[in-house]
Structure 1
């Protein structure tokens, strides 16, 4: 009878440890779920926020900068206008 009681006491202690561990894991899961919700909420806010608008120089200024750095460049003012239009629309 003493051996059975001892065994039951050991199992009870082991069961209590498992319950504590399970409770800790449940709490951790709950915290991670909350963190995931916050990250998803933040991600959606970033998706819906307005994209940054770049302020490009005038085509003539851009062409002058290009000619200053690459003297043999064959680009002209029309090319710079097209490049700026592409950048603004993408």
Structure 2
């Protein structure tokens, strides 16, 4: 009988530890869910405020600006068009 009571006491203590751990994990899950909601809200706000399309000058205008700043530049209009295509 004493052995059975001792075993029940050990199981009870173990069960209490599991309940405490489960409670801590539940709280952690709630905190992570809250962080996720905030991150999603921030993401939506950032999406709405971010520009959707970048506005670039015409390739010929960019080439003229480049040639004005760097007289010996070997870039041509095709190079500038390709670069703008990569940036878009």
Q: Please classify the TM superposition score into its range, dividing by the shorter chain length.
A: 0.5 to 0.7
- Quote the residue 2:70 is aligned against: 69
Q: TM-score, normalised by structure 1?
A: 0.65
1:39 aligns with 2:39: yes
> How many Å separate the matches in 2 of 1:22 and 1:30?
12
Unmatched 5+ stretches in structure 2: none
Alignment deviations for residues 41-89 of structure 1 (CA, whole Å, 9 cap, x no partner): 0000001115297696xx38x61442442536575xxx6xxx6xx68xx
Q: For the aligned residues, what is the CA RMSD?
A: 3.1
CA gap of 1:41–1:74, structure 2 versus 1, over 3 A, is closer
Alignment deviations for residues 18-57 of structure 1 (CA, whole Å, 9 cap, x no partner): 000000100011100000000000000001115297696x
- Quote the residue 1:51 is aligned against: 51
Give the SS at the match of 2:51: coil
Q: TM-score, normalised by structure 2?
A: 0.67
- Quote the residue 1:6 is aligned against: 6
> How many Å separate the matches in 2 of 1:68 and 1:2?
94
